């Protein structure tokens, strides 16, 4: 069973701080990795994707991938109260039939940014 | 209409009712998905349709019946549900092979309550 593990939190940081969210995955053949943000009562929205080892930066967000350690993280710099949400890590894997693909999600980490 | 549209947004049904959830995507994607999101659990993949063919069925009870008449529309037919089926049901679409930059696009979800 492919698994994606995240600390459920809650993670609380002060406004302006760096929030660090972590994720580990069990399937070594996974190729692509995604971070979704989900506000309470809303659907998940994609904020970052990464598929090469190293860092990928987009504005205040940086995704980090280490395939050897099966670890992916998300850093949020200069955290804002509007960043308060649940962050879902998702890992691409193969489906049960040839050629099919699917995303496996972690339980999510709830982040609260305090003004 | 843009993105992924789900109707209805909220649904309350009795255990003997029959209802259907509808999903429509306007992104030109070729794969569609049903996910179930319950409190304190990760997103659970229910069904995957790729090129209108069902390629994944994750041991979902037969009281849930999907239908994908074309690559833009996906339905989830519900009958004789149980209270534990109350959850947020999310539809998503994507382009396969995986578009690493865009991942899945989710609809707003249907909040289902079974009484």
CB contact under 8 A, B42 and A96: no
Shortest distance between the Cα of A102 and any Cα of chain B, in A, equals 8
pLDDT at B100: 67
3-state helix, strand, coil in chain B (%, to 5): 5, 55, 40
DSSP letters along chain A, please?
A: ---EEE----EEEETTSPEEEEEEES-TT---EEEEEE-TTS--EEEEEE-SSEEEEETTEEEEEETTTTEEEEEESS--GGG-EEEEEEEEEE-SSTT-EEEEE---EEEEEE-
Cβ-based contacts under 8 A for chains A and B: 70
B18-25 and B73-79 strand pairing: antiparallel
At A101, is the pLDDT very low, low, confident or very high (cuts 50, 70, 90)?
Answer: low
Which chain A residues touch B102 with a CB distance below 8 Å?
46, 49
pLDDT single digits (tens) B55-82: 777 789 999 999 999 999 999 999 999 9
pLDDT at A2: 64
pLDDT at B12: 95
CB contact under 8 A, B103 and A46: yes
CB contact under 8 A, A49 and B103: yes
Is pLDDT larger for residue A99 or for residue B107?
A: B107
Q: Mapping DSSP to helix (H, G, I), strand (E, B) and coil, where does residue B34 land?
A: strand
pLDDT at A115: 93
Q: Which of the residues A25, A43, A63 would you substitute to probe the B interface, choosing the one with the greatest number of B C-beta atoms within 10 Å?
A: A43
pLDDT single digits (tens) B6-20: 999 999 999 888 999
What is the average pLDDT across A84-99?
78
pLDDT single digits (tens) A43-61: 999 999 998 999 999 999 9
CB contact under 8 A, B42 and A105: yes
CB contact under 8 A, B98 and A44: no
Separation between Cα atoms, residue A102 and residue B31, nearest integer Å: 10
A25-29, A43-47, B46-50, B95-99: least confident range = B95-99
Residue A99 has pLDDT above 60, yes or no: no
Q: Chain-wide mean pLDDT for chain A?
A: 90
Of the candidates A51, A95, A103, which has its C-beta nearest B104's C-beta? A103
Token couple for A51: 């598929």
């Amino acid at each position: 069973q492919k698994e994606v593990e995240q600390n459920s939190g809650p993670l609380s940081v002060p406004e302006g701080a760096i929030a660090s969210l972590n994720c580990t995955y069990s399937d070594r053949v996974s190729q692509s990795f995604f971070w979704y943000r989900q506000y309470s009562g809303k659907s998940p929205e994609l904020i970052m994707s990464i598929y090469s080892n190293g860092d990928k930066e987009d504005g205040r967000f940086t995704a980090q991938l280490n395939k050897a350690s099966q670890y992916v993280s998300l850093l949020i710099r200069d955290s804002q109260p509007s960043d308060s949400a649940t962050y879902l890590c998702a890992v691409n894997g193969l489906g049960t039939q040839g050629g099919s693909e699917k995303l496996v999600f972690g339980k999510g980490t709830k982040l609260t940014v305090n003004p | 209409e843009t993105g992924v549209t789900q109707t209805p947004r909220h649904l309350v049904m009795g255990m003997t009712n029959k209802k259907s959830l509808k999903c429509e995507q306007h992104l030109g994607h070729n794969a569609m998905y049903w996910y179930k999101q319950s409190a304190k659990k990760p997103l659970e993949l229910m069904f995957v349709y790729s090129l209108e063919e069902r390629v994944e069925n994750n041991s979902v009870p037969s009281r849930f019946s999907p239908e994908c008449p074309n690559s833009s529309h996906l339905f989830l037919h519900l009958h004789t549900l149980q209270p534990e089926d109350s959850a947020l049901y999310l539809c998503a679409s994507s382009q396969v092979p995986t578009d690493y930059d865009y991942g899945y696009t989710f609809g707003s979800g249907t909040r289902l309550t079974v009484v």
